[in-house]
Amino acid sequence: MNNFWQRAITGVFFVGAVCGLTLYNEFSFLVLLCTICLFGLLEYYKIVFKGQFHYSQILFVVLGIGVVTLKYWYHDWVVYLLPVIFPIAAFIVLFSKNREWKSLTYLFSGLFYIAFPLLFFYVSTFKLEAAQESPQTIYMPLLALNLFVLIWCSDTFAYLSGKLLGKNKMFEAVSPGKTWEGFIGGLLLTCGFSVLLAHYFKIPMQVNIIVALCSVIFGTLGDLVESMLKREFKIKDSGNILPGHGGILDRFDALLISLPFTALCYYLLL
């Protein structure tokens, strides 16, 4: 099977799984986010630790999934638990083969790069809705799907615009394929498409245009950040779990960096 068909088949199943799990209910969406967190953290730690495994990585993968699911188990005692995480991680690193301070940096950065944005994503898709007896917080699947679609549009439109018009490189040392023409084309076309999404997803048009702007601008930054990571550690793909597409981080890099900003837009504007 050549690379085109491999990418096409994987892409169809990938989009179908993301859309299906997002739309089914809040728990299937949570399963999707936990899966992204699990494989994303495993890939990230494999990259930064250069393939060397240690038990501290398992601890932080579990912590990452705990962060994503925080909505369902948060209590006051969690505040007292948080300061304990650092000394425990420090002790584990101290008794490992890699007794380096940067190991702690790598472990915690994985949580802020992957787990916390996914938590913000999940929480931002719940909205207060008035009921006859009392207001209820309900899951809004179209809000979640909207962010996926905007990122996919941004990637596609930027690629096509860059192919047709691209001349001026953005950050050639980091990502030689990205051009300013591709970025601007992706920005304009995604903002235009967000108006259509706003109509079908029942989102205020002005809000969705702002969300689209954040998706493109910070999503592009996410692409560049992951490219910088891969260049530093001299790898082509973050993993191989998606045949023809690389790893989880290769597919969700733009989403992860844009989520803190798009989720904040949902929180402030809806």
Q: Give the pLDDT score at 133.
A: 67
* E strand or H helix that includes residue 213: helix 205-232
Query: pLDDT tens digit string along 2-48?
Result: 676 777 888 889 999 999 999 999 999 999 999 999 999 999 999 99
- Compute the C-alpha angle 44/186/254, nearest 5°: 15
Q: Give the pLDDT score at 131.
A: 58
Q: Is the pLDDT of residue 240 over 90?
A: no
Q: Give the pLDDT score at 110.
A: 94
Q: What integer best gives the mean pLDDT of the chain? A: 90
- 3-state DSSP assignment of residue 198: helix
- Residue 226 is encoded by which pair of tokens? 């992951």
- Residue 137 is encoded by which pair of tokens? 């917080």
Q: For the CA atoms of the chain, what is the radius of gyration?
A: 20
Q: Give the pLDDT score at 74.
A: 79
Domain ranges of the chain: 3-269
Give the phi and the psi of residue 31 in degrees, each rounded to 5.
-60, -40
Lowest mean pLDDT among 58-62, 125-129, 262-266: 125-129
Going by C-alpha positions, the residue among 107, 91, 118 that lies closest to residue 45 is 107
Q: Give the pLDDT score at 66.
A: 93
What is the DSSP track for 103-158? Answer: HHHHHHHHIIIIIHHHHHHHHHTEEEE--SSS-EEEE-HHHHHHHHHHHHHHHHHH
Lowest mean pLDDT among 90-99, 113-122, 149-158: 90-99
Task: Read off the pTM.
Answer: 0.92
Lowest mean pLDDT among 74-88, 95-109, 184-198: 74-88
Q: Is the pLDDT of residue 255 over 60?
A: yes
Average pLDDT rounded to a whole number, residues 68-87: 81
Q: Give the pLDDT score at 132.
A: 57
Q: Give the pLDDT score at 220.
A: 95
- 3-state DSSP assignment of residue 172: coil
Check residues 233 and 99 and name the one with the higher pLDDT.
Answer: 233
Residue with tokens 């932080």: 60
59-97: b or e for each residue (b if 16 or more CB lie within 10 Å)?
ebbebbbbbbbeeeeeeeeeeeeeeeeeeebeebbeeee
Q: Give the pLDDT score at 266.
A: 95
Average pLDDT rounded to a whole number, residues 155-184: 91
The rounded distance, in Å, linking the Cα atoms of 14 and 123 is 23
List Cβ neighbours of 250 (8 Å cut-off, separation of 6 or more).
226, 237, 238, 239, 242
List Cβ neighbours of 6 (8 Å cut-off, separation of 6 or more).
243, 244
Average pLDDT rounded to a whole number, residues 210-220: 96
Query: CA torsion 125→71→108→263, rounded to 10°?
Result: 20
Which residues pair with residue 127 across a beta bridge? 138
Q: Give the pLDDT score at 35.
A: 96
